[in-house]
Structure 1
Amino acid sequence: MSTKYGRYWALAAASVVVVVFGSAQATGALWREENVVSGGTINSGTLDIKVGPAGAEVNDYVLAALGSTNLAPNGFSQASLSIRNAGNVPFDYRLQGTTVTGAVPLTLTATLVMSAAQCPTVGAPTGSTTVLYNGNASGAQAPTAPAARLLAAGANEVWCFRLAAGADPPQSQSSTVSFSFRADQT
């Protein structure tokens, strides 16, 4: 009889050992470590690109001066556009793309000038200039991605756009060009 009860006690003790080890393994998963990190500062800013006449830039602008009726072969239309950083953080920007709708094939020249006065309606841009793009008006990008121009908060740049017709443009046709700019926080 004592052997019979001895087996039960041994079996009960083994069960307790299994329960104790099983509980210890489950408890080990509950341990965690903490670390204190010194505080920091998070600042927000405003990224806002505006276009239009210098001093009166807006979000969307129709550059009506960049157009012509009865454009002769090899004729062109030229107008300035101010790009301003109206936010409080610097940004990188570029002419992201152009879309041409219509039958008149056009060549686009985009030149950086110091002021709108240096982009006359006739003749070449004057003063200190930098040609940013010269080619097909459709799909133009300046500078070519991933490059971009840095513009400080509150600063502006003036671009001089020239759209030129070829030597033999189609008669009694028209085209419209849309410009799209992109700005990214630096």
Structure 2
Amino acid sequence: MKHRRYWALAAASVVVLVFGSAQTTGALWRDQEVVAGGTVTSGTLDIKVGPSGTEVNNYTLAALGATNLRPNGFSQAPLSIRNAGNQPFNYRLQGASVSGVNPIPFNLTITKVVAAANCVVNGGAPTGSTTVLFNGPASNAQVPVAPAARLLAPTANEVWCFRLATVSEPPQSATSQVTFSFRADQT
């Protein structure tokens, strides 16, 4: 008789624990709000990159590549960044990474130019009205540095001229891939 009482008490304790925790969890997920009548609208945040006028979500900037780069050599190409949504947003180059076997320690220079034509592919310095946004090691580059960001209005775009330069003594027979990631946030 004694053992039956203990089993009954143990079973009752388990049932109380299960019901008690279910009630506590349910209360954490409950909320309500009364809102006066009105209109609720939503917007679209959409950052696109690529050739001016044909930007896409993911783009391979093939013109920024080169073979047989010599010491102090460089590769340069423009990239258009466009707000394809209907809301302004703040954006930045969130990060850059250099990968490969024995990756080349590139120096990255990013210059804002008026148009893609002002960033001559693998040519000289960018022309026209320019603003240097970044100059430093390509690995882990962030432009501008968080929490700062650049404002871009709906349908507006900016053209950045990316320049990757090798050091005076780059590794021989190295192949590298540079990946740029952008971030856009609601203003």
Shorter-chain TM-score above 0.5: yes
1:140 aligned partner: 141
Could you tell me how far apart the structure 2 residues matched to 1:115 and 1:66 are? 17
> What is the CA distance between 1:89 and its match in structure 2?
0.5
Paired AA for residue 73 in structure 2: G
1:100 aligned partner: 98
Paired AA for residue 84 in structure 1: R
Paired AA for residue 60 in structure 1: N
> What is the CA distance between 1:66 and its match in structure 2?
0.1
Alignment of 1:169-180 (within 5 A): 169-180=170-181
Deviation track 1:16-56 (CA, whole Å, cap 9, x = no partner) reads xxxxxxxxxxxxxxxxxxxx864333210111000000001
Alignment of 1:1-186 (within 5 A): 38-102=36-100, 103-121=103-121, 122-186=123-187
Could you tell me how far apart the structure 1 residues matched to 2:55 and 2:35 are? 44
Paired AA for residue 152 in structure 1: A
Deviation track 1:138-158 (CA, whole Å, cap 9, x = no partner) reads 000000000000000011100
TM-score, normalization by structure 2:
0.78
2:9 aligned partner: none
Secondary structure of the equivalent of 2:63?
Answer: coil
Cα RMSD (Å)? 1.1
Gaps of 5+ in 1: 1-35
Deviation track 1:110-158 (CA, whole Å, cap 9, x = no partner) reads 1100000000121000111111111000000000000000000011100
Could you tell me how far apart the structure 2 residues matched to 1:47 and 1:127 are? 30
> What is the CA distance between 1:172 and its match in structure 2?
1.1
Secondary structure of the equivalent of 1:65?
Answer: helix
| Count of aligned positions | 151
TM-score, normalization by structure 1:
0.79
Could you tell me how far apart the structure 2 residues matched to 1:159 and 1:38 are? 45
The structure with the larger Rg is 1
Change (3 A) 1:171 1:43: same
> What is the CA distance between 1:171 and its match in structure 2?
1.2
Could you tell me how far apart the structure 2 residues matched to 1:137 and 1:90 are? 28
> What is the CA distance between 1:70 and its match in structure 2?
0.3
Q: Which runs of 4+ in 1 moved over 6 A?
A: none
Could you tell me how far apart the structure 2 residues matched to 1:38 and 1:69 are? 64
